A and B are shown apart, each in its own frame.
Chain A
């Protein structure tokens, strides 16, 4: 009831005029009856106020003019029924017209006030609806992921809210046509869109559209557009962040490999893969420039299984028109379309794979152009400008890996040289001792003995002296031999590992079960290393292990010599403790080998070493 009354009061359009006339008549009749009832308790000349109620109602609902008519009618009826002389219209015949005129003037003013109030109420309601509509529009537009997709929904709601049969919001300019009116939407003079409404709308609606709908729509559209731009920028920066994170993760994975010092071959493979994914390439290749104007493929990757690239390690001449040549000449990153020459890369393989373009980045190791990394793309559209930049991070890692590997190789080579030089020196000292001092002493001994035989029998003292000296000489020789043995085992150079290890086994304090499977001779550095490993182990076993047997196995097969020394002693040996063992580890590592000691308490000690034989 309350809601219906409210909706009646807030209705913008007026009820039909007939209803107004009837309501006016009914009001006047009802008021006359009320006046008759009230005349018993109130002075009759105050009862004209009762008639103002009808005027108010009719003027509010049907407008001022009908209100004025009701006021005139009320004045006549009041005069007829309440103003003496009763039952006759006296307005023109006596002084009673004065209060009637006052009533009439009040009636007209009430009508005007009611009509004004109504228009204000209606307008307030209209504004409220518009505010609601604006809020809804703003909500719809500002919440929408994509402005363009939200516009039809907003237009429909707006049409409903404004009571229009049709309404459209376009983001571009729209020309007028006979059926539609286009209202431009602007932001600081710049067109941001068009509001399209049916042609021939009432002037009030057109004004309302122009004055209120268009400005608010403009404000919301600008805000929505800004919001969309911000969202897009946010999404783009989020994507960019994700991409950077992905790239950083890939770089970190490669960097970890580099830091772990895995072989360059493995790094090349990993980089080719990671870089391929990061720059969205279809294939990637890493090539090394050779001094003879060839390149060697050192790593490659393909996004799909089909069309495997040429095998890693393959070599081919540099093509003058190719991308590898371009990078070699310029020392700078470069890109090339297939038709410009990139198709010929990798011996035409790139062309076979429908590669459309390729981007290459130089690999510079310590200021020296080492190689090139190439990404191949099948996609017809040009690659983004930053591909080279992104490849550079990977090439830098590759360069670091190569530089590290070279430094490592140099270090290993220098360690090997140090070990070899030390071995060489010891060998030489041993030889010098043998060929020089020892031989001389032996010869002297022989001469002394000869002298001894020719001493006349009547000089026994001299003979005794000579004999004594010869014995002393023999002792010196024995000391020298012992010294020589410690410096370098002569049997190793003379007879190789088999006899040398047998000698060690024979001399060992703990019984040795020896199994040597070595055909022929190994490089001296390997023989020396194996000899010292076994020698040191046997010494350690005798000193610490409390073992009853040592098992020594030495095998040279393929490209490595393997040594295993195992005892059945008490175990619990700490490899870090004995300086002799550390020396062995250094020696084996210098030869590029590996050594491992396990010594569980109560289960003996096992040492295994693998030493690459390689070329001597």
Chain B
């Protein structure tokens, strides 16, 4: 997957899933940081997203680790699990939002829970969207980001 951008429609050349995805002009893969405390999930998500053409540049399990990774990697998007063991994904979303010296990165909250389980918290979070884990895909992320940009 290339960076999805509505300004560059009709340039599908190198996309894996050319029918569904609209890609960035530079053909640069979307750089993604996954924050989750489940190793199983991180691995499965990485494989899935890589297959979808998203570059998973890093993974983290805790807020501190995530903030560090974010500082190093400056990913295009951060997938944050709502549940980080003792820690809280909503807190991380807020801190990521507040941390950046430049424009805050788009944060997508992910969870095995459904969106309605956390609707009130999601509504007040600076995250751009919530994505239920079973529905995770490069395409879903792309759609969210395009929705956020629009």
Contact = CB atoms under 8 A, between A and B. Distances in A.
Interface stretch (A229-237, A319-327, A445-453, A579-587): A445-453
B117 A435 contact: no
A129 interface: no
Contacts of A443: 38, 40-41, 43-45
B118 A491 contact: yes
B118 A495 contact: yes
B65 interface: no
B83 A494 contact: yes
B9 interface: no
Interface stretch (A166-174, A497-505, A570-578): A497-505
Contacts of A473: 134
A537 B118 CA distance: 21
Given A438-B112, A443-B43, A450 B121 contact: no
Interface string B81-111: 0110100101000000000000000000000
Contact of A450 (B41, B51, B117, B120): B51
A506 B119 contact: yes
Contacts of B67: none
Contacts of A499: 118, 120-121, 124
A495 B90 contact: yes
A498 B48 CA distance: 36
Contact of B114 (A439, A450, A481): A481
B137 interface: yes
A440 B133 CA distance: 11
Interface in B125-150: 133-134, 136-137
Interface of A: 434-435, 438-440, 442-447, 449-450, 453-454, 473-474, 477-478, 481, 484-485, 490-491, 494-495, 498-499, 502-503, 506-507
26 contacts: A434-B83, A435-B83, A439-B38, A439-B40, A442-B44, A442-B133, A443-B45, A446-B45, A446-B136, A447-B44, A447-B47, A447-B48, A449-B137, A450-B47, A474-B134, A477-B134, A481-B117, A494-B121, A498-B120, A499-B121, A499-B124, A503-B116, A503-B120, A506-B119, A506-B120, A507-B116
Given A481-B117, A494-B83, 14 more contacts: A434-B113, A439-B40, A442-B44, A442-B133, A447-B44, A474-B134, A477-B112, A478-B114, A485-B117, A490-B117, A491-B118, A491-B120, A494-B118, A503-B119
Interface of B: 37-38, 40-41, 43-45, 47-48, 51, 82-83, 85, 88, 90, 112-114, 116-121, 124, 133-134, 136-137
